[in-house]
Amino acid sequence: MDNYEVLKLDNQLCFPFYAISRLITKQYQPHLEELGITYPQYLVLLVLWETDQISVNTIAEKLILKTNTITPLLKRMENAGLIKRLKSKEDERKVYIHLTKKGLTLREKAVCIPSKLIGSDEVDDKQMEMMKKFQQQLLTLLKAMQNTEE
């Protein structure tokens, strides 16, 4: 009868990741709403604030997304006046993404967001550090698996 133990929701490693991911996004939402952006758009900005003027592919790689997700997302961001898309002159296949003044300025408002979220107070620092390491390992492993299967 209970060979089915492995199929119980509480025994899945996958479900907590799925649920936590969505709940974290929801935590961000009210703060991001003030900036007029969504969570995936926020991630794109995090990337661009670190390194401006990079290709669509580079952004996709950093966020582990495909261009068919990023392309329309970037278009919405362009419509919102946050970025500009410019074709590379050396390689006309490439499109380089530039922050506009508006996109750059949002950084100053965004900088206070992390401190407003749970983390520092509610969760133990040591555990948090272990967590991060584990996640890094898991992420590396999963990324490697993606590539070997292609």
Interface map 53-92 toward a copy of itself (x if CB under 8 A): ---------xxx----------------------------
Binder of a copy of itself out of 53, 71, 105, 135 (CB under 8 A): 135
What residue type is 2 in one-letter code?
D
Cα(123)–Cα(9) distance, integer angstroms: 24
User: Among residues 1, 14, 68, 125, which is the contact residue for a copy of itself, using CB under 8 A?
Assistant: 14
> Hey, which residues does 98 pair with through a beta bridge?
84
Of these partners, a copy of itself, DNA, none, which one is at the site of residue 27 (CB under 5 to 8 Å by kind)?
a copy of itself
Within 36-95, which residues bind DNA (CB under 7 A)? 38-41, 55-58, 64-76, 85, 90-95
Residues 41-60 that bind a copy of itself (CB under 8 A): 43, 46-47, 49-50
CA 69 – CA 143 distance, rounded (Å): 18
Backbone angles phi, psi at 100, to 5 degrees: -85, 175
Angular region, 64: left φ>0, alpha ψ -120 to 50, beta rest: left
CB nearer DNA, residue 1 or residue 7: 7
Nearest residue to 106 via CA among 56, 36, 26:
36
Tell me which residue of 108, 36, 49, 104 sits closest to 76, measured CA to CA.
Answer: 36
- Does residue 27 bind DNA (CB under 7 A)? no
| Window 110-129: contact mask with a copy of itself (x via CB under 8 A) | xx--xx--xx--xx---xx-
Count how many residues are written for the chain: 150
Q: Which residues bind DNA (CB under 7 A)?
A: 18, 22, 25-26, 29, 38-41, 55-58, 64-76, 85, 90-96
